[in-house]
Amino acid sequence: MPKKTKKAKLIAEYRRKLQHLQGTTIPVSSAEPSEVFTFPVVTPNIPKSPTTEMQDVEAYAIRKDLIKTMIIVSLFLMFEFFLARIVQ
C-alpha cells in the first residue's frame, strides 16, 4: 500500500476540518440586541527622520565590509598558491 504524500495528508486534514465545521451548528439568538464596539483609530505623530543619511551610512558600511572580505580572501588565495608552489 503506497504511503500518503504530503499533498494527500493536507487534503485529508482539510476534509476532516470541513466535516467538523459542517456538523456543528452555531446558535443565533436574535432576542438580545448586539452592540457593536468601535475603537477610535489613533495615528501616532512620529517625526520624519532623514532616511537618506542612514542609507548612505549603511552603503558605506557594506562597502567597507566587502573590501575587507575581498582582501582577506585574496590573502588566503595567495597563501594557498604559494603553499602549492612550495609543496611541488
The C-alpha cell of 16 is what?
476532516
Beta carbons of 12 and 4 less than 8 angstroms apart? yes
33-69: per-residue pLDDT in tens? Answer: 567 777 777 777 777 766 666 678 888 999 999 999 9
Tell me the Ramachandran region of residue 35: left when phi exceeds 0, alpha when psi lies from -120 to 50, beta otherwise.
beta
Q: Which three cell numbers stand for residue 80?
A: 594557498
Q: Distance between alpha carbon 57 and the CA centroid of its chain, in Å? A: 25
- Chain center to CA of 11: 26
- Going by the DSSP 8-state scheme, the letter that residue 69 receives in this structure is H
6-15 pLDDT per residue, tens: 888 888 888 8
